[in-house]
Amino acid sequence: MMDAYDPDNIFGKILRGEIPCHRVYEDDDVLAFMDVMPQSSGHTLVVPRTGSRNLLDAHPAVLATTIERVQDIAKAVKKAMNADGIRIAQFNEAVAGQTVFHLHFHIIPMYEGVTLKPHSGDMADNDVLADQAKQIAAAL
Ligand code: AMP
């Protein structure tokens, strides 16, 4: 049995405006913002406003809308960051690498010859993240 969704998670707090983020995009369905511990330059997260623990307990309609937004934002990330490719990642439960228990999709730009940094590694510079968020928003 999976644990229930707990709204007191860090992305729940970001969605409610209780803690800040470097916002890339938002609408009635999703919020997209920069990952503070990026695996590559431009690493962006897309989070549905409707809470679920992960993909496994999400409503199919939420998944459908969210993946459409992931596509749009991935294209903008690729363009703004001049990336060579994009990796989409999504983890379900701690054993699979999930650390924040509110459904989210990782948009990770890939660059020729550049190895990804570890998942949940070093914090990025705030000014750099703010600048990247602006550039990606402008490419949407
Ligand atoms: P996951 O392991 O898929 O649950 O990913 C959680 C991601 O959230 C990691 O890549 C973290 O670097 C990122 N993260 C954790 N806290 C924050 C935060 N306050 N703002 C933005 N990203 C965060």
Q: How far apart are the first and last CA of the chain?
A: 39
126 lines ligand 1 (CB under 6 A): no
Residue 1 has pLDDT above 80, yes or no: no
pLDDT of residue 120: 84
Retrieve residue 79's tokens.
Answer: 């363009």
* CA distance linking residue 88 with residue 109, whole number of Å: 9
pLDDT, tens digit (0-9, with 9 covering 90-100), for 95-126 = 999 999 999 999 999 999 999 999 888 999 99
Give the full edge-to-edge strand order of the sheet including 44-48.
Answer: 23-26, 30-34, 44-48, 105-110, 85-89
Residue 2 has pLDDT above 80, yes or no: no
Q: Is the dihedral of CA 12, 18, 21, 23 positive or negative?
A: positive
Task: Give the class (CATH, top level) of 10-139.
Answer: alpha beta
Q: Find tokens 């431009």 and name the residue.
A: 42
Distance 120 CA to ligand 1 centre (A): 7
Distances (CA, A) of 120 to 3, 38, 69, 102, 139: 22, 7, 23, 16, 26
Q: Whose CA is nearest to atom 22 of ligand 1?
A: 35
pLDDT of residue 108: 98
pLDDT of residue 69: 98
pLDDT, tens digit (0-9, with 9 covering 90-100), for 34-84 = 999 999 999 999 999 999 999 999 999 999 999 999 999 999 999 999 999
97 lines ligand 1 (CB under 6 A): yes
Q: Are 11 and 100 in contact (CB under 8 A)?
A: yes
Retrieve residue 101's tokens.
Answer: 């228990």
pLDDT of residue 133: 98
* CA distance linking residue 76 with residue 57, whole number of Å: 28
Sketch the domain layout of the chain as residue ranges: 10-139
